[in-house]
Amino acid sequence: MTLSTRRQAKRAARRAARRALPRWRRLLPTWRITLGALTAALLLTAGAFAVLYVIVPVPDPNAHAVAQNNIYLYADDTTEIARTGAVNRTDVTIDQIPPQTQHAVVSAEDRTFYRNRGIDLKGMLRAGWNTLTGKGTQGGSTITQQYVKNYYLTQDKTIERKGRELFIALKVDQQRDKPEILAGYLNSSYFGRGAYGIQSAAHAYYGVDVSALTLAQGAYLASLLQAPSSYDVKTATPANREKAIARWHYTLDGMVQLGFLTDAERTATTFPEPIDPQPATGLSGQAGYLVGVADDYLVSAGIIDTATLKAGGWRITTTFDKPKQDAFHKAVQDELTDELDPQRRPATDTDVRVAGASVEAATGRVVAVYGGPDYAKQPYNDALRQDNQIGSTFKPVDLAAGLIAQHTLDGRPITPDTRYDGTSERPVTGGPTPYAPPNEDDVDYGNITLRYAMVKSVNSVYAQEGVDAGLARVRDTAVKLGIPDSVRGMDPANTSMTLGTATPSALDLAGAYATLANHGQANAPWSVLKLARVHTGGAVDAPKMPDHTPVDAIDRPYADTVTDVLRDVIGPRGTGAAALDLGRPAAGKTGTTDSNLSAWFAGYTPELATTVGLFRENPKTHAKEPLAGTAGLARINGGTFPTRIWTAYMSAALDGTTTQQFDLQTGRDTPAPDFSPSSSSATTTPSPTATTPTTGGGSSEEPPSSTPVPDTPTHAPTHAPSAPAPQPTTTQEQPSPQAPQPTTTQEQSSPTPRPTQTRPTHPTTPPSTTGATTNPATSATPPAQRATPPAQ
């Protein structure tokens, strides 16, 4: 039998054996077919890879090397705010960069750098798997790939760009040595504060040449590469500061693992605080603050990444209205700055700062902000900071949550007319932590409605009402209205949350109040109308802007009921009485925090919501300082300078426009009933001995007025009973936490004092917080009966 015959016989035998197999088995390919297919696939892949490696060239450096300025415009699309974006970068050689800084970068960004061939397949597969399994989106790029992306390509997140990046990285790794690649990466990377490259970063964060960087400083700059803007500890939120320091520790630990650092050196290394940000040229006056708000919005909304924005060439039209912006600056100057005298009162009239924001109620457009007096002198944007408690401006959130909850702890309906015990330092019942907040000047208000308690900003009432509403519901309501869930001070495990320990920014708070003004429809504040970049060849980049469709935050009757109550705050006896000078329908709330560390006024008309915060801060330590004594006033309440600034700004901002009325649907067809202290017969006893109150953000505030006027709502006049003299307290019964019930013939119709042996007797009417004059806009001095102000 010939060789050919034997082969034919074997093939015939194999075919016969396969025909004898079950049908399902015959459908599966044989091992020969499978091996052949895999071999062919591998050969094709290798061939394609080789072809692509040859045909994909290493391109010229991208346009970043000749980046243009960014141009920021007011909403009119014509008036220029500022020009920024010229690349701040000075290239250095690898020899100028300390070895420890080089090693820190390798530890932070690519621990296989000195071993890989430009790409790290294992790292890429690991990153892909982590992304697919929900552990977060990860890139898996090596330092070489990042350098290629920065220097040769773009930041576009496309498969095509990623594929080119891979092949160019392989070529670059073959053509250049590791030190050269590392130098190129460090010279092209963005470190925040407008600094491109390690040399500019060294000056921006530590004021030194790159060659003078210490181990700790180099490790911090390396840590910044992951999130330059977020990890700047001088401007970061508290949460991002913690992440930045954790990243710094990760970098140092990696240096130990890679053998670049000993355990002893690691232990001896402490975190190196960078210097304060230095102002950029061309951003003086209000321009720098406006640019900061616009940039923050573009990046946080995911419209554009920081590196692409800072590369320049963008024309950015903002939502800011120049006349309103100028009016805000003038209001602060006229109502506050001109009243300060740092030479005469250096201990109290220095370092006074204002945070402000103004938002269109119906759209969420940011029309003006006040971040400071001059960005060239103070490069911190106070309008965006989230480290000042907002105090009693949080009480409308408590009320809204209570309306949603509908019932108190003892089952009574919660409405503006629900009565509560306004005794100062009355312990809150049902809260997770002990809490007995004092009212301002320790005034006892007796049996009063929620409406009256809002007008007088009575702490004891709203601390209890917030617990009745449910602290988790209060927090959820705050978030739905527009206060970020990441801010500190909104922990339902702390009863004091009810009085404003939360620390949203002025812009955050303006957005929340705009939701109330917009009948419960929320629009997150936004500050850019459009942006575009024209390339040399004529192509135009125009990122898609988000839709600004309002979302349902709370039902309209609840929002409108809160507005109805807040209108009374801006009344003759309300804490926001100074805002009456606006001469338009308006609603708002004052806020003053413990130790007088901050004072606020947040308010709105039907068309515009504006917030103004006042605080003092040590410029070196950044520690908060009390406002007491500012401008010669013993105490600064939200009803003084913040309300005056608000009123002056709103008057100018709305000048020439048609006066709009609130269109409220509260579900109540009749006018509001008398909301002053109950005139019903009630026998009460002194408040139970209170434990030392835990720290709370709110402060009960009296209107800055020295002339008594009737206790009536400004929009629904009613008769208020006159104030009786203090009554004996030896035969009185203990009131319930929510609403004392009338039991005898004693009449309780206005705030009354509680005679004790340890405190001076309070006056029979609420003590007015007058200053040097009787002008409501300037008075802030506590009554003489009180030697020192209470903890607020």
More confident residue, 156 or 295: 295
Chain Cα centroid distance, residue 365:
16
Which pLDDT does position 35 carry in this prediction? 75
**Which of 56-65, 84-93, 296-305 has the largest mean confidence?**
296-305
pLDDT, the chain, mean: 81
Report percent pLDDT > 70 for the chain. Answer: 74
514 contact partners, CB below 8 Å, separation of at least 6? 359, 360, 361, 364, 482, 523, 525, 604, 609
Query: Given a cut of 90, is residue 452 above it in pLDDT?
Result: yes
Q: What is the pLDDT of residue 667?
A: 78
What's the pLDDT at 497? Answer: 97
Q: Lowest-pLDDT range, 145-154, 215-224, 597-606? A: 145-154
pLDDT range class, residue 673, cuts 50, 70, 90: very low
Q: What is the pLDDT of residue 187?
A: 87
Average pLDDT value for residue range 748-765 = 36
| Whether pLDDT at 38 is above 90 | no
Query: What whole-number distance in Å separates Cα of residue 357 and Cα of residue 321?
Result: 12
Lookup: tokens for 687: 């408040």
Name, of 352-356, 410-414, 756-760, 778-782, the range with top average pLDDT. Answer: 352-356
- Cα separation, 186 vs 191, in Å, equals 10
For residues 735, 736, 739, 742, the Cα torsion angle rounded to the nearest 10 degrees is: -40
Separation in Å, CA 71 to CA 74, 244, 283, 286, 290: 10, 30, 12, 15, 12
**The pLDDT value given to residue 155:** 57
Q: How confident is the model at residue 55 (pLDDT cuts 50, 70, 90)?
A: low
Model confidence pLDDT, tens digit, residues 464-507: 999 999 999 999 999 999 999 999 999 999 999 999 999 999 99
Mean pLDDT to the nearest integer, 533-553: 85
- Asked whether the predicted pLDDT for residue 773 surpasses 60, the reply is no
| pLDDT given for residue 579 in this prediction | 97
Residues forming beta bridges with residue 540, ordered by sequence position: 534
pLDDT at 56: 52
pLDDT, position 563: 98
Q: What is the pLDDT of residue 137?
A: 43
Distance CA 189, CA 309 (A): 13
Instruction: For 280-322, write each residue's pLDDT tens digit.
Output: 767 899 999 999 999 999 999 999 998 888 878 899 999 999 9
> How much is the average pLDDT of 171-196?
88
Least confident of 160-164, 671-675, 744-748: 744-748
pLDDT of 788 > 50? The answer is no
Residue 123 pLDDT = 66
pLDDT classification of 46: cutoffs 50, 70, 90? low
Q: Which of 116-125, 168-177, 669-678, 740-749 has the lowest mean pLDDT?
A: 740-749
Q: How many other CB atoms are there within 10 angstroms of residue 472's CB atom?
A: 11
Confidence band (pLDDT; 50, 70, 90) for 171?
A: confident
Question: Each residue of 52-87: b (16+ CB within 10 Å) or e?
Answer: eeeebeeeeebebeebbbbbbbbbeeeeebbbbbbb
Confidence of residue 561 (pLDDT cuts 50, 70, 90): very high
Each residue's pLDDT tens digit, 347-370 = 999 999 999 999 999 999 999 999
Confidence of residue 1 (pLDDT cuts 50, 70, 90): low
Residue 693 has pLDDT above 50, yes or no: no
Kindly indicate the confidence band of residue 26, based on its pLDDT and cuts at 50, 70 and 90. low
In this predicted structure, what is the pLDDT of residue 685? 32
What pLDDT is recorded for position 188?
Answer: 86
Work out the average pLDDT over 401-412: 93
Lowest-confidence pick of 104-118, 122-136, 554-568: 122-136
Tell me how far apart the alpha carbons of residues 547 and 611 are, in angstroms, rounded to a whole number: 25
pLDDT value for 762: 35
The DSSP result for 265-300, as a single string, is HHHH----PPPPPPPPTT-TTTHHHHHHHHHHHHHH
Task: Specify the pLDDT at position 503.
Answer: 97
Q: Which residues contact 327 (CB under 8 A, 6 or more apart)?
A: 368, 648, 649, 652, 653
* Phi, psi of 419, rounded to the nearest 5 degrees: -100, 140
Burial profile 694-727: b = 16 or more Cβ within 10 angstroms, e = fewer: bbbbbbbbbbbbbeeeebbbbebeeebeebeeee
Helix (H, G, I), strand (E, B) or coil at 608: strand
In this prediction, residue 617 carries a pLDDT of 93
**Is pLDDT at 85 greater than 50 in this prediction?**
yes
pLDDT digits (tens, 9 = 90+) for 730-743: 333 333 344 433 33
Distance of alpha carbon 718 from alpha carbon 555, whole angstroms: 28
Give the mean pLDDT of 587-612.
96
What's residue 23's pLDDT? 72
pLDDT digits (tens, 9 = 90+) for 640-669: 999 999 999 999 999 999 999 999 999 765
The pLDDT assigned to 281 comes to 64
